[in-house]
Amino acid sequence: MISKSRKTKETDITISLELYGNGKSNIDTGVGFLDHMLESFSKHSLIDLDIRCKGDNHIDDHHSVEDIGIVLGSLVADVLYPVENVERFGSANIVMDEACVSCDLDLSNRPFLVYESSVAGKVGSFDSELVEEFFRAFVLNSRISAHIITLRGKNRHHIIEASFKALAVAIRRAIAKNDRVGIPSTKDVL
């Protein structure tokens, strides 16, 4: 496992990660719904995660959610690059009851996020607008290009959870080992 910490006036975060793990997690972010999403992400990506965050949740959850995305994304980048002997591209459509979310991604070393979701409002006390903030921070810092698109759904919890699971499965598929690929680019570098 590799670890990284980030301490600001707003958050104090330590994350440990095993990219090729078993999907085990030990997560305490101070944001219950985010804990649930990250546990699901770990389980379906097979990435082992240990996450601790103390944030200024008395203000709101924004700083914790975004900063966790920053630290987690930078850890993934530390392990991934230079990309070699992996599939590079990953895709998944995840269904949760009435909801279906698609994630297509490229371990491109060129960050880009397309996030299309009509989810708005709260899930419990969690502001659903923070989902995009998390994905943006994660994608920019992991240097992944990801398109996360809600295809259908009405239940906020289902849509958000399907989004985290779609990202997880797409990453699991993209990081799948394939020695025949070598450097998966005609440029010979990513």
Burial class (CB in 10 A: 0-12, 13-18, 19+), 149: middle
Ordered by start, the domain boundaries in the chain are 2-174
- Predicted confidence at residue 36, as pLDDT, reads 98
Question: Domain 2-174 - what CATH class?
Answer: alpha beta
The tokens describing 178, both together, are: 């394939």
pLDDT tens string 83-105: 999 999 999 999 999 999 999 99
**C-alpha–C-alpha distance, residues 159 and 96, integer Å:** 7
Q: Tens digit of pLDDT per residue, the chain (190 long)?
A: 999 999 999 999 999 999 999 999 999 999 999 999 999 999 999 999 999 999 999 999 999 999 999 999 999 999 999 999 999 999 999 999 999 999 999 999 999 999 999 899 999 999 999 999 999 999 999 999 999 999 999 999 999 999 999 999 999 999 999 999 988 888 877 7
**How is residue 11 written in tokens?**
């958050």
Q: What is the identity of the amino acid at 40? A: S
